[in-house]
Amino acid sequence: MNITTDKNLHTIESKKVNDTDSEQNVEPWVATKMTKMQIFWMIFTFVFTLGPIRVLLFILIHAISLIFYRIMAIGVNESNSYGKFRSKLIEKWTNIGSRLSIATMGYYRIKIVNKENYVNWKKNRNERIIISNHSNQQDIEIILSLIATGFIAKSSVKNIPFIGSINTCLQGIYVDRSKKNTWIFDKIKLRATNKKLLPIAIFPEGTCTNNKSLLKFKVGAFSAGAPIQPLLIKYKAGFPLSFINLYFTVQNPWIIFLNLFTNIINHVEVTFMDPVQPTEEEKINPKLYLENVQKKYQEVSNWKVHNLGYRDMVKYMEEMKKVKKNN
């Protein structure tokens, strides 16, 4: 597996990214800069594509979801079963509510690659650990529109309106990045083996990229030595604005928010990669398991893998702030 290391992160800013670039040569947090005219055009388009109405619909759907999940979650935590009836209700609303929510952002259709793998998963549900690459907050609802699952997330997510409450009700697990969280391995193993609990989804990169690169996976998802269902999410240019970055990297959060509700239509593709059954050697060696799964991701995505992680992203963001301040 070809993994590159780039510690001189501030040099990345000088590299341009667009849809014609070779996907093998894109750094993980580079995003195409928007001109002032493009930002003006985005705001103009937001107003005239019923953007405000779409935002209100988005908030309404999430408010209904929040009430529903809080009622469903009474007396249940991340280690207790919802029971068959409540689990079915939660799955149905999670898929429908999330599909409605992403429709307000212009995602009217999700293109599923290897649909037979998705059908088989829905039928058997043998893989209780779901993993995916991570580019933005849409990833969560894209996945939820297909699979009702809780997510492993940083502890601060718990306090985010709507998102935190919904993930808690879906039996999400929260970790403090400033501490060693060895207990998480036991939690993952429990979710991997207990079919009465909701599946657990993990972004093994540990942070977001620009949807043109991969980061070195962390071992957590592979620690249980359990079967895994890998997903690959790819975003395509929308209409009418094809120049907007849909990636939660170095973008201003308000720009991200605007672009979600600006385009009349956005495009997303979810590949249900072949489910992975670990070998006996991989079960006792999570790092080997990790490397083999990462290799599959690299082959399917045709993206470069960078030996970088969350702390490198924080350092990169700090460097970019210094550059902007000096300019």
Q: Is 1 domain-assigned? A: no
Mean pLDDT of 53-79: 89
Q: Is 96 domain-assigned? A: yes
Q: Is 8 domain-assigned? A: no
Instruction: Give the predicted TM-score (pTM) of the model.
Output: 0.86
Q: What is the pLDDT of residue 271?
A: 98
Mean pLDDT of 203-207: 92
Residue of 141 and 32 predicted with greater confidence? 141
Q: Is 14 domain-assigned? A: no
Q: Is 6 domain-assigned? A: no
Residue of 47 and 150 predicted with greater confidence? 150
Q: Which residues pair with 174 in a beta bridge?
A: 153
Mean pLDDT of 43-52: 81
Instruction: Supply 209's token pair.
Output: 């990229």
Say yes or no to pLDDT of 26 above 70: no
DSSP one-letter string for 212-251:
S-EEPPPSGGGTT---EEEEEEEEEEEES--S----SSSS
Q: Which residues pair with 272 in a beta bridge?
A: 231
Q: What is the pLDDT of residue 245?
A: 61
Say yes or no to pLDDT of 173 above 70: yes
For residue 43, what are the domain limits? 33-326
The number of domains in the chain is 1
What span, in angstroms and rounded, lies between the C-alpha atoms of 167 and 151? 7
Q: What is the pLDDT of residue 4?
A: 53
Say yes or no to pLDDT of 60 above 90: yes
Q: Is 2 domain-assigned? A: no
pLDDT tens string 261-293: 888 888 999 999 999 999 999 999 999 999 999
Q: Is 27 domain-assigned? A: no
Instruction: Supply 313's token pair.
Output: 């992203």
Q: What is the band of 211 on the pLDDT scale with cuts at 50, 70, 90? A: confident
Instruction: Give the rounded percent of residues in the chain with a pLDDT score beyond 70.
Output: 86
Q: Is 183 domain-assigned? A: yes
Angle CA 267–27–240, to nearest 5: 25
